[in-house]
Amino acid sequence: MPDGQHAAHLEALLAIAQDLTASLGASDRYARLIGAVRRLIPCDAACLMRLDGTDLVPVAGYGLTTGALTRRYPRHLHPRLDIILRSSAPVRFPPDSRLPDPFDGDIEGAAPAWHKVHACLGCALREGGEVVGALTADGLEAHSFDHLDQRVLATLGALAGAALRTTALIEALERRADHRGRVARELLRSAAQSSGGEILGTSAPVVALRREIALVAASDLSVLITGETGVGKELVAHHVHGASSRADEALIHVNCAALPVSIAESELFGHVAGAFTGASRDRAGKFEVADEGTLFLDEVGELPLEVQPKLLRALQHGEIQRVGSDRVHRVNVRVIAATNRDLAREVGDGRFRADLYHRLAVFPVHVPPLRERRDDIAVLAAHFADSAARRLGFAGVRVSEPARRALEAFAWPGNVRELENVVHRGVLRASFGRDPRQAVVLSGEHLDLTPGAAGSADVAQGVAGATAPAVTAGVSLSAWLADVERDAIRAAVARHAGNWAAAARDLGLHRSNLHHRAHRLGLK
């Protein structure tokens, strides 16, 4: 090894050793470690991963796509990574190895001809004899790593393992220092993830939406989230709550569409024993449960008119009364509501109280439909494809260019929720009969997209086999949709010879919700 190169290697290794005792945050420590790897190894990509159970989780990387750095890598699905973790020495794989490389197709800037990794090495990271992670390097040239000194790689692995372990210990101490607060935030974060996680995308409408969320979250104003079905209104509610001063308290969800008149008041405000048949004991309502936190009223446009005055009082004065009780309870609750209806029109038609509407809509937030943020479709599709792959136990999924173009061209009447379902079904088809260790390619033939779909009309044609009426000039969209909904309900009830319960099942609705909609549409 030339003296100059030897000196450069020593300098890089010394920098890693010095960082072990430096006062650095986790991200800075990882970034400096990857920088040292780049100086030691002439690679096109590198990844530092910690071992979490049987999965490897990237903590820092260079030259890899965002998708590659946000996945988990189960060792049983990635034979190269498993070999690295089991080896006591650095491992170099031959260029003609038939084992799939976990980063094939994920090196940034690689031309199509260089789609596959041709040079690959890695070493297990150990601390005190325990494997704590792995370090990998990849090159697009077949013989990129032929000249590397095995002793340098072994020393790099030992220092990197110590650095990874040191950072993990520091993070553990920080977690224990603020245990109670972190537990509360983690529980709320888990709830947010269960309803969709992050708001993905970089389009102008999504950037504006994030700005609105950040603005209103810092206040304690009531928020009304509007948007079509499937756009992610519940996800927005979680983000508003999570960024608010109430983030450490509970976010309580109420689906107003599932509240028939008979139980809506009790569900929201509670009841005392003996208030009605079946009320054998006192029960707190959702407002009391959400005290000091946030109450999310989903599909608030479906709330029975009879219950709306009590809700208005709770919003105006922070006062509630349980059913059957004269006692007033005071609560401190922030209310976030969501609807896919035009509440201003509902007010005009007498189906929603004007004073309640204005109390809810102190700060309105509109969630854009997917057709207005087509630049985000590729990112969303990749995210849903990775999610489906994890559920099915596959190493990974890549969305082909024709599939991406087809997804971006579709109308998406069901918005993000429909996109997620289409991608999940496509991944299931693409993965059928394949080796779980091999990456799955999602192509256009796996996507069940209806050619020429153009929004609400297509949805209406799909409901109970009904055919949507033509849109007449001068008729508003909400009025047209009401006519479509009315015709679909009539057709379902007729098909089942007047059996409303069977019609509700046919339409995918709760029976009480169907009766409520029928009353609102003048069918009962």
d(CA 103, CA 73): 10
What's the pLDDT score for residue 192?
A: 47
Q: Using pLDDT thresholds of 50, 70 and 90, give the confidence band for residue 223.
A: very high
Top-tier CATH class for 373-446: mainly alpha
d(CA 120, CA 117): 7
Nearest to 77 by CA among 391, 367, 307: 391
Q: Using pLDDT thresholds of 50, 70 and 90, give the confidence band for residue 456.
A: very low
What's the pLDDT score for residue 198?
A: 83
Selected residue with higher pLDDT from 427 and 23? 427
Interval 436-465 mean pLDDT: 61
Q: Does domain 3-177 have CATH number 3.40.50.300?
A: no
Q: Using pLDDT thresholds of 50, 70 and 90, give the confidence band for residue 110.
A: low
User: Of 109-118, 234-243, 294-303, 405-414, which range is least confident?
Assistant: 109-118
d(CA 127, CA 12): 20
Selected residue with higher pLDDT from 70 and 367? 367
**Maximum mean pLDDT: which of 14-18, 200-204, 446-450:** 200-204
CB-based burial label for 348 (10 Å; 0-12, 13-18, 19+): exposed
Nearest to 352 by CA among 298, 295, 311: 311
**Run of H or E including 142:** none
Identify how many contiguous H helices and E strands the chain contains and give both numbers: 20, 17
Interval 433-459 mean pLDDT: 68
* pLDDT surpasses 80 at 445: yes
* pLDDT surpasses 60 at 174: no
Rounded alpha-carbon distances, angstroms, from residue 99 to 55, 141, 386, 439: 18, 17, 21, 12
Interval 255-271 mean pLDDT: 84
Selected residue with higher pLDDT from 46 and 28? 46
Question: Amino acid identity, residue 420?
Answer: E
* pLDDT surpasses 80 at 245: yes
Mean pLDDT of the chain: 80
Interval 121-132 mean pLDDT: 85
DSSP state of 64: B
What's the pLDDT score for residue 111?
A: 53
Nearest to 314 by CA among 245, 365, 374, 254: 254
Rounded alpha-carbon distances, angstroms, from residue 451 to 24, 39, 171, 354, 482: 54, 52, 51, 42, 26
Q: Using pLDDT thresholds of 50, 70 and 90, give the confidence band for residue 458.
A: very low
| Residues 73/56, Cβ–Cβ less than 8 Å | yes
DSSP for 431-455, written as a single string: HTT--TTSPEEE-GGG--PPTT--S
What's the pLDDT score for residue 394?
A: 82
Domain ranges of the chain: 3-177, 191-366, 373-446, 456-520
| Residues 307/264, Cβ–Cβ less than 8 Å | yes
Rounded alpha-carbon distances, angstroms, from residue 150 to 62, 141, 300: 22, 19, 65
Query: What's the chain's Rg over C-alpha atoms?
Result: 28
| Residues 471/479, Cβ–Cβ less than 8 Å | no
What's the pLDDT score for residue 170?
A: 60
Q: Is this model's pTM higher than 0.85 or not?
A: no
User: Of 110-124, 130-144, 146-160, 181-195, which range is least confident?
Assistant: 181-195
Q: Using pLDDT thresholds of 50, 70 and 90, give the confidence band for residue 181.
A: very low
d(CA 19, CA 142): 33
* pLDDT surpasses 90 at 79: yes
Give every CB contact of residue 479 below 8 A, 6+ residues apart in sequence: none
> How would you write 95-124 as a 3-class SS string?
CCCCCCCCCCCCECCCCHHHCCCCEEEEEE
Hey, what are 169's tokens? 């210990």
Q: Using pLDDT thresholds of 50, 70 and 90, give the confidence band for residue 214.
A: very high
- The maximal CA–CA distance of the chain, rounded, in angstroms, is 91
User: Of 79-83, 365-369, 389-393, 459-463, which range is least confident?
Assistant: 459-463
Q: Using pLDDT thresholds of 50, 70 and 90, give the confidence band for residue 422.
A: very high
Q: Do β-strands 440-442 and 397-399 pair in parallel, antiparallel, or remain unpaired?
A: parallel
Top-tier CATH class for 191-366: alpha beta
Q: Using pLDDT thresholds of 50, 70 and 90, give the confidence band for residue 476.
A: low
What's the pLDDT score for residue 233?
A: 93
Q: Using pLDDT thresholds of 50, 70 and 90, give the confidence band for residue 16.
A: low
Domains 3-177 and 373-446 share a fold: no
d(CA 5, CA 332): 66
> How would you write 359-373 as a 3-class SS string?
HHCCEEEECCCHHHC
* pLDDT surpasses 70 at 187: no
CA dihedral 505, 510, 515, 518 (to 10 degrees): -70
* pLDDT surpasses 50 at 100: yes
Q: Using pLDDT thresholds of 50, 70 and 90, give the confidence band for residue 142.
A: confident
| Residues 507/463, Cβ–Cβ less than 8 Å | yes
* pLDDT surpasses 90 at 83: yes
d(CA 412, CA 416): 8
Kindly state the percentage of the chain with pLDDT values over 90. 25
What's the pLDDT score for residue 66?
A: 84
What's the pLDDT score for residue 215?
A: 94
Nearest to 243 by CA among 215, 267, 270, 206: 215
Interval 221-225 mean pLDDT: 95
DSSP state of 368: P
What's the pLDDT score for residue 516?
A: 77
**Run of H or E including 139:** strand 130-139
**Maximum mean pLDDT: which of 165-174, 323-332, 505-514:** 323-332
DSSP for 396-424, written as a single string: -EEE-HHHHHHHHHS--TTHHHHHHHHHH
What's the pLDDT score for residue 274?
A: 77
Hey, what are 335's tokens? 């209310």
